[in-house]
């Protein structure tokens, strides 16, 4: 079984590489943007013809939420045109596409965890392009799993956890937003969930294609997350809670973006760790 992973040098791509050796029955092909430019359909078609993937995990994305407000064309190319190219080529090659999306497709005004049936209403360019990417996949191929996730972090790449630990080495105090609520997602747990979907799909006649949510369990604010990061890593620093209004950004963040995971747990028998448990499992 051949599984192609785009965005190999990103956080999720590196997380998938870290667990790949546990699955000798899968031939993983990790493609960085220098190997495979998903915004170039001809390049995608040639690459798929050469590698003949049974599955493609699209971990390539434009994720600079604030820069997307001023780099709309680039965000569109990577988050909309790229997935469209992958989906159209996947349809022709009978490849199953697994695409990573985001909690930013929602407006953050809910008072309950978002389900896959809730109506998207993105507020910024990043969320809008990610939603358009989902829609173009749905229009271009029938064999897809779209996985929406949130607040991804790990020992790989750049993320909130690593930023907090770096800042703590440079400062005595930190101010962290306390009125945005969501759920941290450990990239390795997300990687394992994607592999569980692939193994289920390849071993059963039932193909429950569609949209799924995945994050770790529980919820917290960025302030809570930061405090726990420092506690787990035994870092002594003063952390002060501040409102979003005290830390203005070009892009609006969802105030509430907790995702309901019942659908993915029931469809694939996935057990999901609490976010605090996941955080404690990491060694930096």
pLDDT above 90 for 34? yes
Q: At what angle do helices 82-93 and 41-51 cross, to 10 degrees?
A: 40
Token code pair at residue 75: 């965000």
According to the CATH classification, is domain 2-158+183-217+257-273 in 3.40.50.720? Answer: yes
Mean pLDDT, the chain, rounded, equals 96
pLDDT digits (tens, 9 = 90+) for 61-80: 999 999 999 999 999 999 99
Q: Any idea which of 25-29, 145-149, 195-199, 249-253 has the lowest mean pLDDT?
A: 249-253
Pair 189, 272: CB distance under 8 Å: yes
- pLDDT, residue 283, reads 75
- pLDDT, residue 192, reads 98
pLDDT above 90 for 284? no
pLDDT digits (tens, 9 = 90+) for 159-201: 999 999 999 999 999 999 999 999 999 999 999 999 999 999 9
Report how far apart, in Å, the C-alpha atoms of 175 and of each of 91, 144, 164, 181, 226 are.
48, 41, 10, 16, 10
* DSSP codes joined into one string, 81-149: IHHHHHHHHHHHHTPEEEEEEEGGGS-S--SSPBPTTSPP---SHHHHHHHHHHHHHHHH-SSEEEEEE
Give the integer Cα–Cα distance in Å for 195 and 188: 11
To the query of whether residue 247 is one of the catalytic residues in this protein, the response is: no
pLDDT digits (tens, 9 = 90+) for 219-248: 999 999 999 999 999 999 999 999 999 988
Token code pair at residue 171: 């400062």
Give the integer Cα–Cα distance in Å for 27 and 81: 27
Q: Where are the domains of the chain?
A: 2-158+183-217+257-273
The answer to whether the predicted template modeling score (pTM) of the entire model surpasses 0.85 is yes
Q: How far is CA 224 from the centre of its chain?
A: 21
Q: In a 3-state reduction of DSSP, which class is residue 236?
A: coil
pLDDT digits (tens, 9 = 90+) for 84-123: 999 999 999 999 999 999 999 999 999 899 999 999 999 9
| Length in residues, the chain | 284
pLDDT digits (tens, 9 = 90+) for 196-209: 999 999 999 889 99
pLDDT above 80 for 20? yes
What is Dmax (Cα atoms) for the chain?
57
- Out of 126, 144, 153, 186, pick the active-site residue: 126
pLDDT above 80 for 124? yes
Among positive and negative, which fits the CA dihedral 191, 195, 198, 200?
negative
Percent of the chain at pLDDT > 90 equals: 97
Confidence grade of residue 251 (pLDDT, cut at 50, 70, 90) = very high
Question: β-pairing, 181-182 with 220-221?
Answer: antiparallel
Give the integer Cα–Cα distance in Å for 90 and 138: 12
Give the integer Cα–Cα distance in Å for 102 and 35: 25
Confidence grade of residue 17 (pLDDT, cut at 50, 70, 90) = very high
């Amino acid at each position: 079984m051949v599984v192609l992973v785009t965005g190999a040098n990103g956080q999720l791509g590196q997380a998938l590489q870290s667990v790949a050796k546990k699955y000798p029955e899968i031939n993983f092909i990790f493609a960085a943007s220098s190997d495979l430019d998903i915004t170039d359909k001809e390049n995608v078609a040639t690459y798929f013809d050469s590698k003949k993937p049974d599955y493609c995990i699209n971990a390539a994305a434009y994720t600079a939420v604030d820069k997307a407000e001023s780099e709309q064309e680039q965000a569109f190319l990577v988050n909309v045109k790229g997935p469209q190219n992958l989906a159209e080529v996947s349809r022709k090659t009978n490849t199953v596409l697994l695409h990573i999306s985001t909690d930013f497709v929602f407006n953050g005004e809910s008072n309950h965890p978002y389900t896959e049936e809730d109506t998207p209403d993105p507020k910024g360019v990043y969320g809008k392009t990610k939603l358009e990417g989902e829609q173009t996949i749905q229009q271009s191929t029938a064999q897809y799993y779209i996985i929406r996730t949130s607040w991804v972090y790990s020992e790989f790449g750049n993320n909130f956890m690593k930023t907090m630990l770096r800042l703590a080495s440079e400062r005595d105090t930190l101010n962290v937003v306390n009125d945005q609520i969501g759920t941290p997602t450990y990239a390795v747990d997300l990687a394992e969930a994607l592999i569980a979907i692939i193994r289920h799909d390849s071993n059963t006649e039932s193909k429950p294609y569609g949209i799924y949510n995945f994050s770790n369990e529980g919820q917290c604010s960025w302030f809570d997350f930061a405090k726990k990061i420092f506690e787990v890593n035994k870092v002594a620093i003063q952390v002060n809670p501040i409102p979003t209004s005290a830390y203005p950004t070009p892009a609006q963040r969802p105030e509430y973006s907790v995702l309901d995971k019942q659908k993915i747990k029931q469809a694939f028998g996935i057990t999901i760790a609490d976010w605090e448990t996941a955080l404690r499992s990491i060694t930096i």
